[in-house]
Structure 1
Amino acid sequence: MSPESFAQTLAATVTRYLAQVAAPAEHLSLLRWQIAEGHRLDLRETMPGHLTTSAIVLSPDHAQILVIDHITIGRWLQPGGHYEPSPFFHLSAQREAEEETGVTGLKLHPWHQNGDLPFIIDSHDVPGKKSRNEPPHIHHDLQYLFLADPSQPLTAQLDEVNAAKWREVAMLEDFAPKTAARLKMAPAPV
């Protein structure tokens, strides 16, 4: 995507998310303001926030979730990272999951109906990174659901994560409670 098509696609995606998916209390005010101001949300240098994508990778029965032990943040999270140019936002999330965990055979969850509408858009504070001279800032995270076989071997990308593991899906409550709540309404595919 060019910067212009990125901005148009992101604006349309956020508008559609707010109309079709968002809970009544979700307003995404900062993200919408940054879009209206023309901020380059595809660049990690953009402050006060920029775009990230992440993958909620589930076992087919929704009993397990793939998580990473994130080096910078120091806790278990879903795989994800700063947006990298892709034809679709979910492909950026998929690439992050594959790179960070070595997971193979990812399939976009049927909830997405083969589209690019995020399951969750979560704007949250992150601590920044001293080695990059980054101050604390906001990640506007587009989260996508994927399915994968938990019996496949994993290989953590050790420059970004300490480990990658399959854990019980209840762990999602610890770091993504909005996602966990919405997931309870998205039944496992048959």
Structure 2
Amino acid sequence: MNRDWLRSEIEKYQTVYQEEEKYKGRFLDLLFFDNCFERSLLSGHVTASAWVLTSDYKQVALLHHKKLDRWLQPGGHADGDENVQRVALKELEEETGITDVRLIGDSFFDIDIHNIPLRKDVPEHDHFDIRFAFVAQRPDQLKKNDESNEVAWIAIDGLEQFVGNDASVLRMKEKTLKF
């Protein structure tokens, strides 16, 4: 997996969600920047995340992010790595302790562009997030790290209690219900 793979996958990505369809063009434009996988591209850069489910698809692993004060799926910066699936797996392990997973499907699961507010010396910018869906083979591996207030298996049916009306997370819930 590299930039060319990602470009090809985004070009052929089929979605019924209008927001994702709009994101495709912005993602493809971003991939023309040499440093789009680096934080040094201050307007926005590629990130990757993991939507990790239990084997019955009834729970998802989420963390309560300290800096953003929100419940989110594990994920983070590519930091130069063009293999976004590897980035998602690395972030998953760092943020939840989960290492034993199986990819659902044969490509990414969702794409999203979301704004990150100004923080200290880092200007406001966009994260161009490539999201992979996985099944945790060993859900008992779940543990938090110092970037999170909490990490937990959250029932898909009760997700709104944790994420409110976060459209991008609720879109992944809706996709999960179609499995």
Q: Output the TM-score relative to the length of structure 1.
A: 0.79
Counterpart of 2:174 in structure 1 is 181
7-16 or 93-102: bigger deviation: 7-16
- The unaligned stretches of length 5 or more in structure 1 are none
Closer, same or farther in 2 for the Cα pair 1:172/1:16, shift >3 Å?
farther
Closer, same or farther in 2 for the Cα pair 1:181/1:147, shift >3 Å?
same
Closer, same or farther in 2 for the Cα pair 1:23/1:39, shift >3 Å?
farther
Identity of aligned residues (%): 30
Q: Deviations over 1:2-23 (max 9, x none)?
A: xxxx432332222122xx3453
Give the deviation of 1:35 after TM superposition. 2.6
2:37 touches 2:82 (CA, 8 Å); kept in 1? no
How far apart, CA to CA, are the structure 2 residues paired with 1:172 and 1:141? 20
Within-5 A mapping of 1:91-102? 91-102=86-97
1:63 touches 1:168 (CA, 8 Å); kept in 2? yes
How far apart, CA to CA, are the structure 1 residues paired with 2:114 and 2:34? 17
How far apart, CA to CA, are the structure 1 residues paired with 2:101 and 2:152? 15
Q: Deviations over 1:86-108 (max 9, x none)?
A: 57422211111111011231121
Q: Deviations over 1:10-43 (max 9, x none)?
A: 32222122xx34535522143233234x352100
2:3 touches 2:82 (CA, 8 Å); kept in 1? no
Closer, same or farther in 2 for the Cα pair 1:172/1:43, shift >3 Å?
farther
Q: Deviations over 1:150-178 (max 9, x none)?
A: 651422121x2222111111354533122
Counterpart of 2:156 in structure 1 is 169
How far apart, CA to CA, are the structure 2 residues paired with 1:106 and 1:32? 29
Counterpart of 1:125 in structure 2 is 115
Closer, same or farther in 2 for the Cα pair 1:172/1:46, shift >3 Å?
farther
Secondary structure at the residue paired with 2:108? Answer: coil
Secondary structure at the residue paired with 1:152? Answer: helix
Number of residue pairs the alignment of both structures matches: 171
Within-5 A mapping of 1:62-77? 62-77=57-72
- What amino acid is the match of 2:173? A
How far apart, CA to CA, are the structure 2 residues paired with 1:135 and 1:103? 31
Q: Output the TM-score relative to the length of structure 2.
A: 0.83
Counterpart of 1:8 in structure 2 is 4
> Is 1:52 matched up with 2:47?
yes
Counterpart of 1:31 in structure 2 is 27
Match among 65, 83, 100 for residue 105 of structure 1:
100
How far apart, CA to CA, are the structure 2 residues paired with 1:101 and 1:32? 30
